[in-house]
Amino acid sequence: MNQIDLEGRVAVVTGGAQGLGFAIAQRLVRSGAKVSLWDMNAELLASARAELGDAASTILVDITDYESVAAATAQVEQELGSLDIMVNSAGVAGRNAPLDEYDLEEWHRVINIDLNGAFYVNRAVLPGMKARNYGRIVNIASIAAKEGNPNASAYAAAKAGVVGMTKAVGKECAQYNIAINAITPATAKTRILDELKPEFIDYMLSRIPRGRFLEVEEAANMVAWLVSAENSFTTASVFDLSGGRATY
């Protein structure tokens, strides 16, 4: 494992109690950062903190509630002295259905968590990063943002929105020492698959030239560099993690 120096940095990982978010939090802790895990599952948060040790803290946060996000941001800045790194990993896949049959409430649920939640998180942390003239943000999008997946229009739309938002806000903050980027992973074997039909999971696997699912540690390795001080020039960009699936 390449050594990334995050000594003295304070990081937040949303959805950090499990799956991709937890793997990223592990890597950031190993690189020297203090990490605040944000999640809605108190039991999983307690388990994650026990595994990560003293470098980790936890806050119960609903990213679809801006007041909850803003309060958690203020708590991290007060208790840990800064908030240098934000990795927005919280998200849902949503149910599978053709667009003309897609349940309206389910559409709003997916958009609210995956897109509005990402907006709330970025909006809450940026004032402090601007004031300190330093920050690193990684928004977890998806290969679905680039290529779409049939019967998953809400997820594809939300993640495409995250990509567009990242490109816009990265340009807005380019005059500061703030790097804001997104990654577009292919499917990893995490709890997000629990919402999906088995045939849809098989379809996504068949689309990956590597012939396997993404390992969460592979995503964590890419994120670790993106949130480091070494990433001092690249911003408003999208990094592919699709195992060769992406066509652009």
Write out the H or E segment, with its range, that includes residue 137. strand 135-140
Q: Whole-angstrom distance between the N-terminal and C-terminal Cα of the chain?
A: 28
Amino acid at position 142, single letter: S
Residue among 138, 139, 156, 155 nearest 147 (CA) = 156
Q: Is 74 helix (H, G, I), strand (E, B) or coil?
A: helix
Burial class of residue 181 in the structure, from the number of CB atoms within 10 Å of its CB (0-12 exposed, 13-18 middle, 19+ buried):
buried
Catalytic residue among 66, 120, 134, 155: 155
155 carries an active-site annotation: yes
The residue written with tokens 């499917």 in the block is 187
**Which residues are within 8 A (CB) of 134 and not within 5 positions of it... i.e. 6 or more apart?**
84, 176, 177, 178
Catalytically annotated residues: 155
